[in-house]
Amino acid sequence: MENQELLQMVTEKARKWLSPDYDEATRKEVQRMLDSDDKSELIEAFYKDLEFGTGGLRGIMGVGSNRMNIYTVGAATQGLSNYLLKNFKDMKQISVVIGHDCRNNSRLFAEISANIFSANGIKVYLFDDMRPTPEMSFAIRHLHCQSGIILTASHNPKEYNGYKAYWDDGAQVLAPHDKGIIDEVNKVTSAADIKFQGNKELIEIIGEKVDAAYLDQVKTVSIDPEVIKRHKDLKIVYTPIHGTGMMLIPRALKQWGFENVSTVPEQMVKDGNFPTVVSPNPENAEALSMAVNLAKQLDADLVMASDPDADRVGIACKDDKGQWVLMNGNQTCLMFLYYIITQYTKLGKMTGNEFVVKTIVTTELIRNIAERNNIEMYDCYTGFKWIAREIRLNEGKKKYIGGGEESYGFLAEDFVRDKDAVSACCLIAEVAAWAADNGKTLYQLLQDIYLEYGFSKECAINIVKPGKSGAEEIKAMMENYRNNPLKELAGSPVVLFKDYQTLKQTDADGNTKDIEMPGTSNVLQFFSADGTKVSIRPSGTEPKIKFYIEVKELMHSRDDYREVNVKADEKIEKVKKSLGL
């Protein structure tokens, strides 16, 4: 589309937002953008509609069709209401749960959504304050609701907010409901289509009762309470990074029996501006720096940080030289599953009917652990809704004992259907206690897992390409990798190429085979002869393209750990060159 055409299109679209259906502040802001000589802000705000995708909405807050505001949130809620009324038309009373995080406008968006649902005759359970995403997932099942939403942009920067929709199983919506909801949302073309006037009689405020029920269930995740009793003084430092984890995680740790938990006071303050961090993402070392500094002062054993909606957890522990090091999401996932499988086996809890789940971009060492312990493992797409799907499909037939992803999410239980930092924080503390019971640190436990199952190192690279031009660049990059598949990775020949958009895999001899997955996805994977794996995908929620690199090395003893890490880093640099990065 030529610039003049684009400008004409966005101008026409923006002028519709000057109608009396929109509030005065919105109209003023739209008029300001229309009057400005620089039209770039107008174009970014209106060049497209903020898409209600299979993961809901996520975007920068502000005025415009491509922004998170009461009208884009309102359209999503009206569309979801319309779909629920169609799908459950024979039900006497449809009900939903609404949760939200600490972000600016999250409470406003939650209350607006409650009004819209109730105006459509739908019963609403609205949390009295911010709560973790996993608790909202739990509440859907606990309160026998048909759907639920959470207002959160997870670990994104402060400018963002988001809206995630869930179904009656407590998981994010999947086919056919995702497409059905999207169709209904797309039919809402103006503010006049949205029922903003709520029915207070249909809105019930919930809080402590659901908190207590959820925490009681979280307590059942503990495998060996006796080991906690022996190490109840384990020194733990926790930070919620200004988010929802502060509501429940310290309380949950206490309920499990941990008596020596310190929190970072400056970050135990609810604040959507996240003033103490550059980004509230526990994947970033900087987000844990205040917690690590406190841990140094206290000579602590373990540091934990949850993201703003408390579904992801990042951890740090001391290495063999007493220096604090961060564990990545693959490493924590390995430790969780290793502990669960080892303890279940030791306690005679294994029946031969258990399964674990990982995402396709998560470390292949999990496959090694599962296979060697005769446990079924499912590989699924990125996003916890796909892990939840495997739990649902196997419900009543097989026992789910854990699932995780490289992006710091883990779920040890099935009464929640999304990643859960509340149970994960408690469980990693129990793993640390168990390691101590066996004369090890968490760091040594990780080394021993590598010795038993093989060493791998992972590296994630995110290339950010914002705006309309960025989306086009990302599309071109994916097309290039797809049409010109890599022949080698760090000098090792590629022996398998998987394209999840065509659901075909091709080996080194050119033989093709179908990939069995529930649908297509814009992901490419390359596997080389020496065990290197590269996955490439555009983010579904942010303007970035993601590269996941995993390399293997031989490790013979704990003493080799530093050396194999250096070798792995060198190989990763060579892989980057193969990728043209």
Looking at the DSSP assignment, which residues form a beta bridge with residue 380? Answer: 359
Encoded amino acid at 39, one letter? K
Which token pair is 334?
């390995």
* Host H or E run for residue 526: strand 524-528
Helix axes 70-87, 177-187, angle to 10 degrees: 130
8 A C-beta contact, residue 411 and residue 403:
yes
Neighbours of 2 (CB within 10 A): 7
Would you give the DSSP letter of residue 172? B
306 labelled catalytic:
no
Half-sphere exposure of 182 (CA within 13 A, CB side): 16
Exposure letters 547-568 (e unless 16+ CB within 10 A, then b): bbbbbbbebeeeebbeebeebb
216 Cβ contact list (under 8 Å, min separation 6): none
Q: Which of 81, 154, 289, 456 is catalytic?
A: 154
Which token pair is 258?
């941990």
Encoded amino acid at 445, one letter? L
Backbone angles phi, psi at 375, to 5 degrees: -115, 135
Transcribe 187-208 into DSSP letters.
H--SGGGS-----GGGEEEE-H
Exposure letters 86-96 (e unless 16+ CB within 10 A, then b): ebbeeeeebbb
8 A C-beta contact, residue 166 and residue 140:
yes
Neighbours of 210 (CB within 10 A): 21
Backbone angles phi, psi at 547, to 5 degrees: -120, 130
Backbone angles phi, psi at 2, to 5 degrees: -65, 155
| Helix, coil or strand: residue 251 | helix
Exposure letters 255-287 (e unless 16+ CB within 10 A, then b): bbbbeebbbbeebeeebbebebbebbbbbbeeb
8 A C-beta contact, residue 504 and residue 485:
no
- Residues noted as catalytic: 154
